[in-house]
A and B are shown apart, each in its own frame.
Chain A
């Protein structure tokens, strides 16, 4: 009985948490359109965030997705050569990268770089009373801190995912050209023939949603930071763990939906 009660309480907490994220997003969306703060200054802060969270993540995202592309090609070729279908490596890489791994790997890199940074930044501001200071200066902390982050991530995550797709395909191409009997031209043509627009757009939609989740969790964890430096560490860790869990969960939901709707697309 005790166990059932604990599971029930845990489920209730989880639903309340997701509700809190939705509330933060809805409030940010409202403040984006009816902000008491100056729009030009908000855009400046969003640009600053976009540079830090998006442009700053380019090198590491490129490197990781390039390697992932090579790994998928290697693993795929290992199986496909038994079937005498090694020429399918290009389509395997392009589809798995654009539909799944490009956005997912990007999300995990961004969680590590920016989700944790959002929680640490806002958490530290909570501990040092900077959030209170913003409020007493009539600067709503959500409008001032969260809205620019949502804006930046909504733009940068899809851009990063597209770049990650390109780098992943490039990784697969390296394998294809070096040991898969492809030329650069034939690999590009094989990739182009294998992909449909929907592969790319489904990945981009996922990346956009991942970006919003990472921002909401990072900021929510920052705001819920208690007193003391230890609490900042706790909220940063929670931001990373919860973001990864939610991103994978949402990915599962999206992939299932896309799979069920495959006949109609």
Chain B
């Protein structure tokens, strides 16, 4: 299968702190990969790196065959027109209505007639179950609606690759299930390459073709849903069985942490 995304020895650092320690993986064309991991595992950083918002300290990321770590601004723009990213909080432009938000990439990057764009906006809103909301401002929408409006904007340019950052985080179970359904529908209808970052296990098992489990910046497990689910690796089991960290340092280390640097 042709790889839509390929990461080779991908390392990302914030200052002197390395958060991703040499990741290697591929996402095939038309595949849905869900990246799961706890807070601070580096999954959001990974997503930001895959769309070019973070620069890796070393390694390569190929998106549609182009190494985005070395791409020029023009090449990067061309790649970005082929991808859609739905942010965790929606990240809709607050000064524009929902409809204007969805129309924005179309107005800037295509020469379509404004009436055609208007029709497209309505189609995208219908796809995410928000028909009739084009004139609402983002602040007037609930959290779940904002996320769906963000999906509609991510879909506006009919992207080849779709990224979702924590699509169901902070939503009630019914709305979260609706979002999962929506991703499954998109997957079926458009056979897009989809990368989802989440910490919701139920959602991950439902929508993924393959799962990547990130832990402290390393890939702890990677494979089809069933394979990851049945993994015997202790760290994977701990995450899947929701077992709290019990590693305690000895008493002396513990005391040292409180007193270190104090004179």
On A, residues with C-beta under 8 Å from B are: 36-38, 41, 121, 124-125, 128-130, 132-140
Instruction: Please give me the residue from chain A that is nearest to B101 by CB atom.
Output: A133
Do B77 and A133 touch across chains, with their CB atoms under 8 A apart? no
Contacts of B95 in A (CB 8 A): 121
- Apart from A128-B94, A129-B89, 11 more pairs, CB < 8 Å: A125-B94, A130-B93, A132-B48, A132-B53, A133-B153, A136-B84, A137-B105, A137-B153, A138-B80, A138-B108, A139-B108
Contacts of B73 in A (CB 8 A): 36, 140
Do A130 and B91 touch across chains, with their CB atoms under 8 A apart? yes
Do A137 and B91 touch across chains, with their CB atoms under 8 A apart? no
* Contact among A41, A121, A129, A138 with B91 in the assembled complex (CB-CB below 8 Å): A129
Contacts of A121 in B (CB 8 A): 95
Do B85 and A133 touch across chains, with their CB atoms under 8 A apart? yes
* Contact among A36, A136, A140 with B83 in the assembled complex (CB-CB below 8 Å): A136
Q: Is B221's CB within 8 Å of the partner chain A?
A: no
Q: Nearest Cβ in chain A — how far from B96, in angstroms?
A: 10
**What are 26 A-to-B residue pairs whose CB atoms are below 8 Å?**
A36-B74, A37-B108, A128-B89, A128-B91, A129-B87, A129-B88, A130-B91, A132-B48, A133-B85, A133-B87, A133-B92, A133-B93, A135-B52, A135-B80, A136-B52, A136-B53, A136-B80, A136-B84, A137-B153, A137-B157, A138-B77, A138-B81, A138-B105, A138-B108, A139-B104, A139-B108
Q: A36-B74, A124-B94, A138-B77 are in contact. Are A132 and B105 (CB under 8 A)?
A: no
Do A38 and B108 touch across chains, with their CB atoms under 8 A apart? yes
Contacts of B2 in A (CB 8 A): none
Contacts of A136 in B (CB 8 A): 51-53, 80, 83-85
Q: Is B107's CB within 8 Å of the partner chain A?
A: yes
Contacts of B81 in A (CB 8 A): 138
Instruction: Please give me the residue from chain B that is nearest to A48 by CB atom.
Output: B95
Q: Nearest Cβ in chain A — how far from B184, in angstroms?
A: 23
Q: Considering the chains assembled together, what is the distance between the CA atoms of A26 and B105 in angstroms?
A: 26
Q: Considering the chains assembled together, what is the distance between the CA atoms of A133 and B78 in angstroms?
A: 16
Q: Nearest Cβ in chain B — how far from A141, in angstroms?
A: 11
Pairs A-B, 3 closest by C-beta atoms: A133-B91, A138-B80, A129-B91
Do A41 and B87 touch across chains, with their CB atoms under 8 A apart? no
Q: Considering the chains assembled together, what is the distance between the CA atoms of A125 and B157 in angstroms?
A: 22
Contacts of B157 in A (CB 8 A): 137
* Contact among A37, A38, A124, A132 with B87 in the assembled complex (CB-CB below 8 Å): A132
Q: Is B109's CB within 8 Å of the partner chain A?
A: yes
Q: Considering the chains assembled together, what is the distance between the CA atoms of A133 and B107 in angstroms?
A: 16
Do A138 and B109 touch across chains, with their CB atoms under 8 A apart? yes
Do B109 and A130 touch across chains, with their CB atoms under 8 A apart? no
Contacts of B48 in A (CB 8 A): 132
Q: Nearest Cβ in chain B — how far from A32, in angstroms?
A: 16
Contacts of B105 in A (CB 8 A): 137-139
Q: Considering the chains assembled together, what is the distance between the CA atoms of A136 and B157 in angstroms?
A: 12
Contacts of A36 in B (CB 8 A): 73-74, 77
Q: Considering the chains assembled together, what is the distance between the CA atoms of A130 and B153 in angstroms?
A: 12
Name B55-108 residues within 8 Å CB distance of A. 73-74, 76-78, 80-81, 83-85, 87-89, 91-95, 104-105, 107-108
Contacts of B78 in A (CB 8 A): 138
Q: Nearest Cβ in chain B — how far from A152, in angstroms?
A: 15
* Contact among A125, A128, A129, A137 with B104 in the assembled complex (CB-CB below 8 Å): A137
Q: Nearest Cβ in chain A — how far from B231, in angstroms?
A: 33
Most buried by A among B48, B81, B91, B153: B91
Q: Considering the chains assembled together, what is the distance between the CA atoms of A129 and B51 in angstroms?
A: 14
Contacts of A139 in B (CB 8 A): 104-105, 108
Q: Considering the chains assembled together, what is the distance between the CA atoms of A41 and B73 in angstroms?
A: 21
Contacts of A129 in B (CB 8 A): 87-89, 91
Contacts of A125 in B (CB 8 A): 93-94
Q: Considering the chains assembled together, what is the distance between the CA atoms of A125 and B88 in angstroms?
A: 14
